[in-house]
Amino acid sequence: VARRTTTAGTDYASYLLIDDLLDLQRPLTPGAPDEMLFIVMHQAYELWFKLLLWELTRARDELLGGRAHGAVAPLARVHRVEELLLAQLGVMETMSPDGFMQFRDPLAPASGFQSLQFREIEALSGRLDPTHLTSAVLGSEQRERLRARLAEPTLWNAFCACARSAGLDMPEGDASAAHAARLQALVTLYRTHGADATLSTLHHVAEQLVDHDEAIGRWRFHHGLLAAREIGTRHGTGGSMGVGYLRTTVDTRFFPELWEVRTAL
């Protein structure tokens, strides 16, 4: 058998575009040593957000195809990345408030408030505050991309579809009868998941969705504390009330029925 001749391939810097990547950190304020951290932190977050969207989309598509087992690996990765994102906040907290004040004003109105990928994660997961579609915080192209995301099935839609294909009564819709039917089906799932392999996998995925929901909730809470220690009660660079606004987001849940089922068991 003739051996295939290998071509030269690539190298680390070319494959990963390292020169481009390392050229993207451009502090605005000379002599503010913490600005490099601030930029690298946000860029690292956006890269992980990109992977989260990738894996959440894979999980969603597996569920839509009725393959609960196919969602397990991407959701496990999502969970590990989110643990990393939480730990990353501790790196940001090594910056003291005076260090932040040295470079904060010139970067306004830039803020995580304008992170399109964060909003896409919320939309894909199933809970986006609709005001983001109309407010001028995002640009018109970004709002268009968000609208396209909202037109896609959410993770929750996909989970319900997968549960239906496994024989559970999980109707769509906001009507109270549909809600009651879903809750009853979830009670059945949570009480009988040990009985067979399909229910067991579906239950595992439901708990992984709760992991995702809880991780983002913990991130919201911890990020609010980070903001409080950096800026006190100042307004945010994005123009919101600051910490007061962030507090209103802490109880957002992507999958409220997966929390509700606990009380009904």
CB of 47 to ligand HEM, least distance (A): 10
Q: Which of 155, 162, 185, 246 binds ligand HEM (CB under 6 A)?
A: 246
Closer Cβ to ligand HEM, 111 or 142, answer by number = 111
Helix H, strand E, coil C: the string for the chain is: CCCCCCCCCCCHHHHHCHHHHHCCCCCCCCCCCCHHHHHHHHHHHHHHHHHHHHHHHHHHHHHHCCCHHHHHHHHHHHHHHHHHHHHHHHHHCCCCHHHHHCCHHHHCCCCHHHCHHHHHHHHHHCCCCHHHHCCCCCCHHHHHHHHHHHHCCCHHHHHHHHHHHCCCCCCCCCCHHHHHHHHHHHHHHHHHCCCCHHHHHHHHHHHHHHHHHHHHHHHHHHHHHHHHHHHCCCCCCCCCCCHHHHHHHCCCCCCHHHHHHHHHC
Torsion over CA of 141, 142, 143 and 148, rounded to 10 degrees?
Answer: 90
Q: What is the total count of residues that contact ligand HEM (CB under 6 A)?
A: 24
CB of 30 to ligand HEM, least distance (A): 19
CB of 95 to ligand HEM, least distance (A): 6
Name the segment binding ligand HEM (CB under 6 A); options: 39-47, 138-146, 186-194, 197-205.
39-47
Contact positions with ligand HEM (CB under 6 A) in 84-123: 92, 100, 111-113, 115, 118
Closer Cβ to ligand HEM, 115 or 184, answer by number = 115
Name the segment binding ligand HEM (CB under 6 A); options: 20-28, 58-66, 76-84, 236-244.
236-244
- Amino acid letter for position 26: R
Q: Which of 245, 250, 256, 260 binds ligand HEM (CB under 6 A)?
A: 245
Closer Cβ to ligand HEM, 132 or 203, answer by number = 132
Q: Which of 75, 230, 255, 257 binds ligand HEM (CB under 6 A)?
A: 230
Q: Does 57 bind ligand HEM (CB under 6 A)?
A: no
List residues binding ligand HEM (CB under 6 A): 41-42, 45, 92, 100, 111-113, 115, 118, 223, 226-227, 230-231, 236-240, 242, 245-246, 249
